Amino acid sequence: MKTFIDLFAGLGGFRIALEKKELECVFSSEWDKYAQQTYALNFGELPHGDITKVTNEQIPVHDCLCAGFPCQAFSISGKQGGFNDTRGTLFFEIARIVKSKKPKVLFLENVKNLEKHDSGKTLITIKNVINDLGYSCYSKVLNSSYFGIPQHRERLYMVCIRNDISIKQFEFPNPTYEDVNLKDIIENDLEIEDYAINRLDIAIKGNPIIENNLFKTKILKPIRIGTINKGGQGERIYSEEGHAITLSAYGGGVASKTGAYLIDNRIRKLSERECLRAQGFPETYEFPENMPKNQIYKMCGNSVSIPVIERIFNQICLCIS
């Protein structure tokens, strides 16, 4: 494979992973203006906007279609099946492009809950459409924590290979279980006060997981050690000895989007750079000057985990080589 397109591109995590394999990105699309600006700064091109307004003729022929697509409810999912069941959803735009361009591979990412949405009917509808378009579809939920970055992030990955391509059996990568924790991505010389949470209703307590870890091995999951207020969403405190919770584009609470952590004896949120590291982005990745912090956190929460994308794509290359 030589070329790919980057749909619902966000920060460009798919692009970073595939360009490492020397593939060329021939088209990108992202509707969010903040993500567009960030993408342009890092890749030197402004993505096309709303994909629903992009015609098939504007999209070049390509070998691999990449998309971390949004998943809205399918109003009639599972009732009729087929291509028409996806109209009115953004997955329809993927199907439209695939029908026109027939790439060799579709590489898709979505939230874990897509597996169970509408009692599984939504995923069945998606797979039926992909099958009808002439592709074999493989899917699996993988956790970023087991692929070298300290963030608990379970996502559904789908690899769809065109049926006329001679392939070996596709298999998703095995976890690498690399020995990493939150301490490994902490930003040195950070201006703590910009991220500190100073409250009177903070409660910290010990955690048996840490206390019984006699061999000081790194624990590949978040370790909760306290609460803020009543301990609701965005009000839970975790140890730097474990992993970050799932970065989120939305959510409330004093520690919304990143979670709260006890780091160097202070309770704080993660910094923007730490969020990038928790998704596997290179140190050279930048945000535009004066980008609103809430938008940065939103984009990081919407992004893909680059090391997981890399591992899966390596398996794709082995499968169709």
Is residue 166 domain-shared with residue 28, that is, in the same domain?
yes
Is residue 187 domain-shared with residue 145, that is, in the same domain?
no
Chain-centre distance of CA 3, in angstroms? 21
Q: pTM score, two decimals?
A: 0.93
Structural domain including 152 reads 3-173+305-320
CATH number, domain with residue 311? 3.40.50.150
Is residue 260 domain-shared with residue 165, that is, in the same domain?
no
CATH number, domain with residue 288? 3.90.120.10
Degrees, nearest 5: CA angle 65-69-71: 145
Is residue 147 domain-shared with residue 68, that is, in the same domain?
yes
Is residue 26 domain-shared with residue 85, that is, in the same domain?
yes
Would you give per-residue pLDDT tens digits along the chain (321 residues)?
A: 999 999 999 999 999 999 999 999 999 999 999 999 999 999 999 999 999 999 999 999 999 999 998 765 544 434 444 545 555 588 989 999 999 999 999 999 999 988 888 888 888 989 999 999 999 999 999 999 999 999 999 999 999 999 999 887 899 999 999 999 999 999 988 999 999 999 999 999 988 888 888 777 889 999 999 999 999 989 999 999 999 999 999 888 899 999 999 999 999 999 999 999 999 999 999 999 999 999 999 999 999 999 999 999 999 999 986
AA letter at 58: Q
Domain count, the chain: 2
Degrees, nearest 5: CA angle 264-308-302: 70
Is residue 115 domain-shared with residue 189, that is, in the same domain?
no
Is residue 67 domain-shared with residue 199, that is, in the same domain?
no
pLDDT at 70: 79
**β-strands 224-228, 3-7 pairing:** unpaired
Positions annotated as catalytic residues are: 71
Is residue 167 domain-shared with residue 253, that is, in the same domain?
no
DSSP letter for 119, please: G
Is residue 151 domain-shared with residue 232, that is, in the same domain?
no
Is residue 195 domain-shared with residue 314, that is, in the same domain?
no
Is residue 190 domain-shared with residue 287, that is, in the same domain?
yes
**H or E segment and range at residue 157:** strand 154-162
Is residue 237 domain-shared with residue 93, that is, in the same domain?
no
